[in-house]
């Protein structure tokens, strides 16, 4: 099956900007399907962070932002805080085979 | 505000069928895509499939031969059955809504929100 590739881990000191990439292909992100992002705290269910590439649900701080270019997307955290330490997943749709929704492998953010 | 809650056995024997329910409160089962997603311990998320409205379904091609998702509108819940389980099916199973904009009738641009809290199912002999 097609995959969305994320770096296994990223880190940053409080106040820094951290970026997490999500690289797909021509049957998912490159085909124009939207990318969405989730935050998963230890022991909790994933929480929607960004939908439709760059939209934030109510309650999500504006230090989180999303973007997309070609076959890749990115999540940026501007002014990272200790409470942001979590796993982050991107998600899109893939039109190969009979079509399916897929997630990236996840990125662990460590706040130094 | 829709809320979801998974329930079912936490232990299943190899080769048997895993069965879970997802109770929906605060909303109707009509006109929504109701999904199952799983996460093996320490690993990433995998979409299993969805059921929509009156019962149309779509499954992950990698699991399609073993998965059945159904809906019980009278009790406001939907269910997952996964047959012939092995240790590789050990995971936290989440139910979630595939949310979408009004123009996106197929849900291809959709995102998952809200989620249930998840339930751990261990395949163990």
pLDDT of residue A51: 96
Q: What is the mean pLDDT of residues A25-35?
A: 95
Percent of chain A residues topping a pLDDT of 90: 95
Q: Chain B: give the shortest CA distance to residue A55, in Å.
A: 11
Structure confidence at residue A1 as a pLDDT band (50, 70, 90): low
Query: A99 touching B, CB under 8 A?
Result: yes
| Positions in chain B whose pLDDT score sits under 50 | none
Q: Which residues of A touch B111 (CB under 8 A)?
A: 34, 36, 48, 51-52, 91
A20: exposed, middle or buried (C-beta count within 10 Å: 0-12, 13-18, 19+)? buried
What is the predicted pLDDT for the residue at A2? Answer: 66
pLDDT tens track for A36-87? 999 999 999 999 999 999 999 999 999 999 999 999 999 999 999 999 999 9
Contacts of B73 (CB under 8 A, 6+ apart): B29, B30
């Amino acid at each position: 099956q097609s995959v969305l590739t994320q770096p296994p881990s990223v880190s940053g000191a409080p106040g820094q900007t951290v970026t997490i990439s999500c690289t797909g292909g021509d049957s998912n992100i490159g085909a124009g399907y939207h990318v969405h992002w989730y935050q998963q705290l230890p022991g909790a269910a994933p929480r929607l962070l960004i939908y439709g590439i760059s939209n934030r649900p109510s309650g999500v701080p504006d230090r989180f932002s999303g973007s997309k270019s070609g076959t890749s997307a990115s999540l940026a955290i501007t002014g990272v805080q200790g409470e942001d330490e979590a796993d982050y997943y991107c998600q899109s749709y893939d039109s190969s085979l009979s079509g399916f929704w897929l997630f990236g492998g996840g990125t662990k953010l460590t706040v130094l | 505000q829709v809320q979801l809650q998974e329930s079912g056995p936490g232990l299943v024997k190899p080769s048997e069928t895993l069965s879970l329910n997802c109770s929906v409160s605060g909303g109707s089962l009509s006109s929504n895509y109701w999904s199952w997603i799983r996460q093996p311990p320490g690993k990433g998320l995998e979409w299993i499939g969805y059921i929509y409205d009156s019962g149309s379904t779509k499954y992950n091609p990698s699991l399609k031969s073993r998965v059945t998702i159904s809906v019980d509108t009278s009790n406001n819940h939907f269910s997952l059955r996964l047959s012939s389980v092995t240790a590789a099916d050990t995971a936290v199973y989440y139910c979630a809504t595939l949310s979408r904009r009004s123009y996106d009738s197929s849900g291809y641009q959709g995102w998952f929100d809200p989620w249930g809290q998840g339930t751990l199912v261990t395949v163990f002999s």
